[in-house]
Amino acid sequence: MLSNCKLDAEDEKILRELDNLYGVAQNKEVLKDIILYIKLKQNNELDLGNYNIIIRNNSSYNLLNDLIKVCAKVFMKYNIIQNDNICFLDKAINSRGDCPFDKIFGIDDGIIIINEKKLRINYADELDNLKRTMKQFKDKIFIFEDTNYCEGETDGELGELASFRMTIDRISLDDKIMYCKNKFEEHQLNYKKQDLKEYADVPFWILKNMVIKLIIECKSKKIDFIDKQMLKTNKEFYSKNTTKRNNERKSIKQEKNAKDELNELIGLEEIKKQMNKILNYIKLNKERGQIPSLHMCFTGNPGTGKTSIARVIGKIFEQEKILSGRGDFVEIHGRDLVGKYVGWTAQKVHDTVEQAIGGVLFIDEAYSLVVDRRGSFEDEAIATLIKEMEDHRNEICIILAGYTDEMKNLIKLNPGFESRIQFTINFPDYNEDELLKIFVGLCKKEKYKLSENCKEMLISNFKKAKNDINFGNGRYVRNLFEKIKFEQADRIVQTDSKNKNTITKADIENAIKSITFHEKEVRKIGFCRG
């Protein structure tokens, strides 16, 4: 029986296809586990549930297709699915304009791809429909594409529906160098390894074009050695127009001063004043050669603008030359710093900080690192993070964010944070007028117009929403806006209306009907009749 649970030659051949797929090759071990699990399940030795996968997609390149096609070969080989056709359900949503899971029953494709964000239009209803569908159609593979800012959020919400996890990484410079090596060696072209680092440091889609052109040139001229000058000339040909476009975009972006962008944010008046004072303090101290620690703690409810302020801070630090600006704005969830195995956590924290050096590392729900047991991976994450905050105190701005009471508890339990966090800022909830401004701003951005009496209805809804125990501030406004667009699109199609950019009172009323509020408990003082 156990001999049947080994990989055969065809399995190995399928797995080797991942070796040349940059950004997805690290999933080879996961796919190997899936193959072994299929064998064990078919031998009635193990049953963990299903073969569905959550794929965390961190890449801007279209690598999801490449990964799924390889997975499909495994599922086809073992008759898990009847065909290897792939249905991207979000495209079906866009073309049909109706509830996707109510209409899924007729599709024939073996693999169903669902972008988790598409569930959020009518989250509760869609999730119930999805569960019923998955239960009925066990002969299909459901793959959830996770593109959320906070890694792990999708896993927390949909983890019970999928037994396996994969990741699509950004294509690194090392990946690009390896791509060049493989392509050149495949065509018997010699080169110097030290020349490839500078050559390959371009976006991957440009690099692929560069390499194809260079190979054609070498073969047509019967050249078997690629020297440094050839690499330089080849790169300049492709980078000339790209660099020009990037410079044009950069100059357009820099026309708007980051401080002006801060002051133009809706509401947050006290926060803006505090931030301007902090920025003046940092700038003056840097001129004196005594730059203070840049780390901060943001407290407050969800959707109060913490992330928006953090992004603007990164731009200001770059424009004012307080930070080098060579790092990314990196946004993670506190739990993302915790490794799965012994020795992984410290390296994970270090790598995350390294990615953001020269910029801002924003750690949302940082209090999730607080656990009851000592010596845990969470303790290791906190200890490593505190050390990194000290080691790079002048090179990076690390912002810890989360609910007020929980963040106070995190700082209290870990005094190392208190000595390294220079600024603590509390973000208040938005009032009704500010929420309306956010909604109007979303309409303007997407070129929607509000008909008469809509604003009064929205203000009334925001007043009720503010009493909800889970009120999400700006996040609530964005979710409401998506629901209203959904209702508006349905009305436009059904009535064949020509005013495709107008939101009516009826659209808002229909959207509001799907919202249930849970009011905060009000503690009564006095005597009750008994």
pLDDT of residue 530: 42
The domain that holds 324 is classified in CATH as: 3.40.50.300
Within-domain flag for 528: no
Domain assignment present for residue 13? The answer is yes
250 & 295 share domain: no
Q: Are residues 155 and 226 in the same domain?
A: no
Instruction: Answer yes or no: do 233 and 280 share one domain.
Output: no
Q: Are 68 and 54 in contact (CB under 8 A)?
A: no
Same domain (yes/no): 178, 231: yes
Q: Which of 427, 459, 474 is the last residue of a domain?
A: 427
Buried b (16+ CB within 10 A) or exposed e, 384-408: bbbbbbeebbebbbbbbbbeeeebe
Indicate which CATH number applies to the domain containing 196: 1.10.8
Residue found by looking up tokens 């073309």 in the block? 95
Q: What is the pLDDT of residue 243?
A: 47
Residue whose entry in the numeric block shows the structure tokens 């070129």: 447
Quote the number of domains for the chain: 4
Q: How far apart are CA 441 and CA 178, in angstroms?
A: 45
Contact 90, 115 (CB under 8 A): yes
Question: Could you tell me if 223 and 338 lie in one domain?
Answer: no
Residues 6+ apart with CB under 8 A from 241: none
CA atoms of 256 and 476, how far apart (whole Å): 28
- 30 and 110 in a single domain? The answer is yes
Strands 296-300 and 397-402, sheet pairing: parallel
Residue 256 sits at the vertex; the CA angle it makes with 253 and 257, to the nearest 5 degrees, is: 120
What tokens appear for 389 in the block?
């905050």
Angle (CA) 147-486-64 rounded to 5° is 25
Question: Could you read off the pLDDT tens digit of each residue along the chain, which spans 530 residues?
Answer: 344 578 999 999 999 999 878 888 889 999 999 999 999 999 888 888 899 999 998 876 678 888 999 999 999 999 999 888 888 765 434 333 444 444 444 456 789 888 776 665 455 666 777 788 788 888 889 999 887 656 677 777 788 889 999 998 878 888 889 889 989 999 999 999 889 988 998 878 788 889 999 999 999 999 999 999 999 999 888 766 544 444 444 444 444 688 888 888 888 899 999 998 998 998 888 887 778 889 999 999 988 999 989 999 988 888 888 887 666 788 999 888 988 776 788 888 988 988 888 889 999 999 999 876 666 788 889 989 998 898 888 889 999 999 999 999 999 888 889 889 989 999 999 999 999 999 999 999 999 999 888 999 999 999 999 888 878 899 899 999 999 999 999 999 998 888 888 999 999 999 998 888 776 654 444 444 44
Residue 526 maps to a domain: no
What are the E-state strand segments in 460-518? 502-503
Same domain, 127 and 194: no
Residue 524 is assigned to a structural domain of this protein = no
Whether 498 is covered by a domain: the verdict is yes
333 lies in which domain range? 257-427
Query: What pLDDT is stored for residue 523 in this prediction?
Result: 45
Residues 140, 280 within the same domain: no
On whether residue 230 sits in a domain, the answer given is yes
Of 168, 184, 200, which residue sits at a domain end?
Answer: 168
> DSSP assignment, residue 340?
S
Handedness of CA 370, 371, 375, 377 (dihedral sign): negative
Nearest-angstrom CA–CA distance, 66 and 171: 14
Contact in structure between 168 and 57 (CB atoms under 8 Å)? yes
Count CA atoms within 13 Å of residue 41 on its CB side. 14
Helix or strand (DSSP H, E) at 456 = helix 454-465
Instruction: Tell me what pLDDT residue 94 has.
Output: 37
Distances in Å between the alpha carbon of 422 and those of 211, 294, 394, 406, 417?
48, 6, 12, 19, 9
Phi, psi of 90, rounded to the nearest 5 degrees: -65, -35
The verdict on residue 522 lying in a domain is: no
Predicted confidence at residue 240, as pLDDT, reads: 62
Say if residue 268 is in the same domain as residue 348: yes
Q: Do 109 and 133 fall into the same domain?
A: yes
Q: Check if the beta carbon of residue 347 is closer than 8 Å to that of residue 388.
A: no
SS3 227: coil
What is the 3-state composition of the chain as percent helix, strand, coil, each rounded to the nearest 5?
55, 10, 30
Task: Answer with the one of 254, 275, 300 that is the final residue of a domain.
Answer: 254
Report pTM: 0.52
Q: Please give the pLDDT value at position 150.
A: 60
Residues 18, 127, single domain; the answer is yes
Tell me, yes or no, whether 123 lies in a domain.
yes
User: What does the block give as tokens for 466?
Assistant: 């503010």
Residues 295 and 231 in one domain: no
